[in-house]
Amino acid sequence: MKQIVIIGGGFAGVNLAKKLADANGVNVTLVDLNNYNYFPPLLYQVATGFLDVANITYPFRKLFAGKKNIRFRMASLQRIDTVNNKAILSNGELSYDYLVLATGTESNYFGIENIRKHGLPMKTIDDAVNIKNYILQKIEEATRLNDPDEIKKLTTMVIAGGGPTGVELAGTIAEMKKNIFRKEYPELANQKGEIYLVDALPTVLAPMSKQSQEYTHKTLVDLDVKVLLNKQVKDYVDNKVIFADGSEIETKMLIWTAGVAGRVFDGLPEDIYGRGKRLKVDAFNKVDSTTNVYAIGDTCIQTTDKNFAEGHPQLAQVAIQQGKNLADNFKAMVTGKPLEPFKYFDKGSMAIIGRSKAVAEIPSPKLKFKGFIAWMMWLFVHLFSLINFRNKMQTFFNWMVTLFTKDQSMRTIVRPTVVQDKS
């Protein structure tokens, strides 16, 4: 029996494990710091109170219950011992025949220490819950004040990063401000807190077409979002976002979605990392200079696919497809069959801007959609991408409530305390 250890239970790791479930000749151990899988494209809806954490999470042990060759270990990877084929974890070690790194990415602060300390990232469930709590707490604080300048700092928000996450977050918060906050916070009815979406690039949604970019920009402006392009964030000091051109925005809320980077693994040589600290892999997702270490999803960069010579985009579909392809190759290794190099099938890209407003593009045939049709496509794709039936039904119900009421009631401030070991 070949022992396969998967580090990371995101799109890539989970799809690899699911396809290896009940396969002959392999035992699989999935390792993750959390005991649940979550759906990153909908984190912004948790951060804005339109979905509950339970809507986009599912326990690993429940997911793999009854799969005799799948085990789960709740731990973090500390070091890789490639000589002895061992993964050194925070609570022990695992021996492997094949090690798969599927850890995704981390927020990239580009070396700006003040943003790392005081900005609000949005990469994990904890981040999304923290953003929701922080926004609500600052607004509650603003309702108790009389100083207009201080109130403006508390109610002004800067979202750094004009990619899908930044666009979706800005549009949703703008609609909340219009449809919810004005009713629920009458104390702030006449205040001038703004929502800024800033990016160092000359356009939002850079990978998409000019048509989609222009529609998105116009829609955000119509929602009263201040879109500032060619604006590089240089620092965040004394509640001021400072730009490279010397301009500033005073705010106590800076949400950072401006960049991601891969993780550096102790035990692997430095020269195997490519752009964005992504592990360089061959056509079969094997890490360069290794014999039995693989990387899939956002954590790797693969330049052997002729249609993506600079590497694949860091999207969910790439991770899903790489996970499934590697599972097939592991099965082929056991049976002595030839391996299949990975080839990405681009299903397109999309981004939601607000209620009934979105953009979507399908590369083959070249089709572009915007407005309500694109919004419905976005709902359908994301709904059916959720990991199980329960999540699909709960999310669908919440979306229908939001569609007809323009509201949700999940704006609770939850401050969990640290769980102490009382044994």
The predicted structure's pLDDT at residue 179 = 83
Element (H, E) at 157: strand 157-160
Active site residue 168: yes
Name every residue whose Cβ is closer than 8 Å to that of residue 114 and which is 6 or more positions away in sequence: 235, 236, 237
b/e burial code for range 36-74 (CB count within 10 A of at least 16 → b): bbbbbbbbbbbbbbbbbbebbbbebeebbeeeebbbbbb
The predicted structure's pLDDT at residue 412 = 81
For the cut 60, the answer to whether the pLDDT of residue 418 exceeds it is no
The predicted structure's pLDDT at residue 416 = 61
Mean pLDDT for the stretch of residues 328-336:
96
Least confident of 93-102, 186-195, 270-279, 334-343: 186-195
For the cut 70, the answer to whether the pLDDT of residue 419 exceeds it is no
The answer to whether 8 touches 299, Cβ cutoff 8 Å, is yes
**150-172 pLDDT tens trace:** 999 999 999 999 999 999 999 99
For the cut 60, the answer to whether the pLDDT of residue 339 exceeds it is yes
Banded model confidence at residue 423, pLDDT cuts 50, 70, 90:
very low
Quickly count: other Cβ atoms within 10 Å of residue 32's Cβ.
23
The predicted structure's pLDDT at residue 159 = 98
Banded model confidence at residue 384, pLDDT cuts 50, 70, 90:
confident
For the beta sheet containing 357-362, the strands, ordered from the edge strand earlier in sequence to the opposite edge, are: 349-354, 357-362, 367-370
> What share of the chain has pLDDT > 70, as a percent?
96
The predicted structure's pLDDT at residue 223 = 95
Per annotation, catalytic residue among 93, 106, 140, 168: 168
The answer to whether 234 touches 242, Cβ cutoff 8 Å, is yes
Mean pLDDT for the stretch of residues 245-274:
95
Mean pLDDT for the stretch of residues 190-218:
93
Taking only Cα atoms into account, the Rg of the chain, rounded to an integer number of angstroms, comes to 22
The predicted structure's pLDDT at residue 422 = 45
Question: What phi-psi label fits residue 242: left (phi over 0), alpha (psi between -120 and 50 degrees) or beta?
Answer: beta
| Overall pTM surpassing 0.75 (yes/no) | yes
Banded model confidence at residue 98, pLDDT cuts 50, 70, 90:
very high
**6-38 pLDDT tens trace:** 999 999 999 999 999 999 999 999 999 999 999
- Domains of the chain, first to last: 2-33+75-105+262-335 (3.50.50.60), 113-258 (3.50.50.100)
Banded model confidence at residue 421, pLDDT cuts 50, 70, 90:
low
The answer to whether 296 touches 320, Cβ cutoff 8 Å, is no
Banded model confidence at residue 364, pLDDT cuts 50, 70, 90:
confident
Mean pLDDT for the stretch of residues 197-205:
97
Banded model confidence at residue 394, pLDDT cuts 50, 70, 90:
confident
CA dist., res. 88 & res. 13, Å (int): 18
For the cut 60, the answer to whether the pLDDT of residue 134 exceeds it is yes
